[in-house]
Amino acid sequence: MASDWVAVMPVKRLTAAKSRLRGAVPAARHADLALAMVRDTATAVLAAATVTELLVVTDDQVAAAAVAALGARVVPDRPDAGLNEAMRYGADEVAGLSRYRAVLAGDLPALRPGQLDAALAAAGPGRGFVADAAGSGTVLLAAPAGEPLDPRFGLGSAAAHAASGARPLEGDWPGLRQDVDTPADLATVLALGAGEHTCALLRDLGLKVACVSAA
């Protein structure tokens, strides 16, 4: 079992991120919500015992500064060709094929470090993926040293990853599986226990939400 994973997280420009989530908070604070979720995800990843480095691929300067302050390494999205190319670039070119690599979504504000550790412990020897709560999407794709990542994120990505030979990783990891695409997803995350940055933003907006600590 590897204990020296490089986690790779692509982050879109905040102004263009999470379009289906618009309306969950006032329009002027939409980018702030996207950033808060990125910060909570990065905080949990960096606290995972099996992760030795978090590599964030982004061209958004605000997001870059925020995750760098938390301890992440930031590189620009040189391919600038979409999510899968950003993931492949970060994992296979920047981190390198000699490392154990796991790419994950940046909208997992209820992620607990222990859940990520458990998922990575279940990975290997080949590629493995964690499906989202709905079962059709993917929140994490892991690749061992020497094997290309070959990401297939997008509509129906869980089936696409399985068809590509990746093994589904099974476990009770609700915070890892629950990404946030819609206002309903955000409500589910708050019930699970969102991180401090997401909770602080919502409270700053005066929303009466019961944020349970994700620690």
- Residues flagged as binding site for phosphoenolpyruvate: 138, 154, 157
Residue numbers in the known binding site are 138, 154, 157
Query: In the beta sheet, which residues pair with residue 167?
Result: 128
> How many other β-carbons are positioned within 10 Å of the β-carbon of residue 197?
22
Residue 138: both structure tokens together: 């993917």
Distance CA 46, CA 44 (A): 6
3-state DSSP assignment of residue 8: strand
CA dihedral 110, 115, 116, 118 (to 10 degrees): -170
Beta 51-58 vs 128-131: how paired, if at all?
A: unpaired
Residue 43: both structure tokens together: 């905080």
Q: Sign of dihedral through CA atoms 115, 38, 2, 131?
A: positive
